[in-house]
Amino acid sequence: MKLSKSSLFKKKILLCVCAGISAYKSIILLRLLIKSGAEVKVILSPDAHRFVSPLVLSVLSKNKVFSSFTNSENEWNNHVEYGIWADLIVVAPATANTISNIAIGASNNLLLSTILSSTCPVFIAPAMDHDMYLNKITQENIKKLKKNSFLFIDVESGELASGLIGKGRLSEPETIVTKLETFLSNMLPLSGVNCLVTAGPTFEKIDPVRFIGNFSSGKMGCCIANELIMQGATVELILGPSTESVNENINLNRVVSAQEMLDISLEKFEKQDIIIFSAAVSDYKPKIIHHKKIKKKSDDLNLSLNKTEDILKTLGRRKKNQILFGFALETNNEIESAKRKLEDKNLDAIILNSLNDKGAGFGFDTNKISIIDSNFNIKKYPLMSKVELSKIIVKQATNMFFKRFDIKNKSVK
């Protein structure tokens, strides 16, 4: 099973609906935004209720819908608070009248005042008759707003309410949502950054029914991969035998053995910017793999084992400018053992977790870690969910990446 999260997920969207015949499409747009995981509030222009029902919009958004500075209880609807609340404002449909009023900085209704007082990106999706849209005044207003950082979703051509055929139709709700998602994705700090994550155990076959393995569930690595996607990265996940769910936008590479994980890691490594290896790779594999099930006998079964290649050390030798993180699961001399691995494998940081900590390690939804960087600076974190820890790990790795390449004005939330 794969989980998909739109870049609109948990975003606060203020949908502003103007008085035009295409206002009925705002219902479809609202549904799509909600389906994408956004929280939506709706403001109507004073006459928009004549074209679309405030009750329908309220029921769908699960928020009250307002169109004036005071509500039915004569309480003030604070346009400043609406502007602060929103991550994005979408004016759809935007009439020629509203576009004109925004262009001159008018604030004589709740919708206009909210837009004027907002600091978030504002998308305008025009909808009007062909001649109104092409009118020089309308086109000048649009140019003026574009110069002032307003973002436009172009009209479409087709049959119009007047009976004319031409430009002026409101862009389809699906198109509007896609453009919003693309905009938000490009705003994310890791947009354009390639990341590689390994997760889960590896299984080394003894015979067709038996294997050498470990108890790793892959939870931690999958959480890291999901968080990287949420920050806009392109993610390759190499996942050993695991039932964990991941975002459908992750390029998932399923493997079983340590050799398979090594082969794909070597194939993908050169193109990556950030690499986080959380997989619990088998240290040994049977020298001989039996092609038929080994029959149970009265005497002991002895296995001869060969050491597997150390994937992280192999890649550490090939590292150029990439940020490379590894994990260390220790039971004794933890800090010193982790430091040795950090140096030996040429890592930028190592994430230490201990089987001695209750609620940490394999199979749990929680973990307790320490992050040690290449200067041996140590940051210890208390027991917390693997989801929250993934945010900490991703933030540390990406901030190292920004610093290494002197990328400014970027941050990971």
> Which residues are known catalytic residues?
214
User: What is the residue whose two structure tokens read 């930028």?
Assistant: 348
Report how far residue 92's alpha carbon sits from residue 47's, in angstroms, rounded to the nearest whole number. 14
Distance of CA 1 to the CA centre of its chain: 18
Query: At 88, which helix (H) or strand (E)?
Result: strand 88-94
**DSSP three-state, residue 94:** strand
> Strand 122-126's sheet: what is its strand order?
39-44, 12-17, 88-94, 122-126, 151-152
Report how far residue 173's alpha carbon sits from residue 116's, in angstroms, rounded to the nearest whole number. 24
Residue 311 phi, psi (nearest 5): -60, -45
Question: DSSP string covering 311-378, please?
Answer: HHHHHHHH-SS-EEEEEEEESSSHHHHHHHHHHHTT-SEEEEEETTSTT-STT-SEE-EEEEETT--E
**Which structure tokens are listed for 259?**
């050799």
H helix and E strand count, the chain: 13, 23
Q: Is the distance from CB of 397 to CB of 374 less than 8 angstroms?
A: no
Q: Is the distance from CB of 195 to CB of 234 less than 8 angstroms?
A: yes
User: What is the residue whose two structure tokens read 């619990």?
Assistant: 280
**DSSP three-state, residue 21:** helix
Query: At 169, which helix (H) or strand (E)?
Result: strand 165-169
Rg, Å, the chain Cα set:
28
Q: Considering Cα of 148, then 230, then 153, then 126, what sign does the dihedral take? A: negative
Give the Å distances, CA to CA, from 305 to 178, 212, 257, 302, 315.
53, 10, 14, 10, 23
Cis ω before 93 (30° cut-off from 0): yes
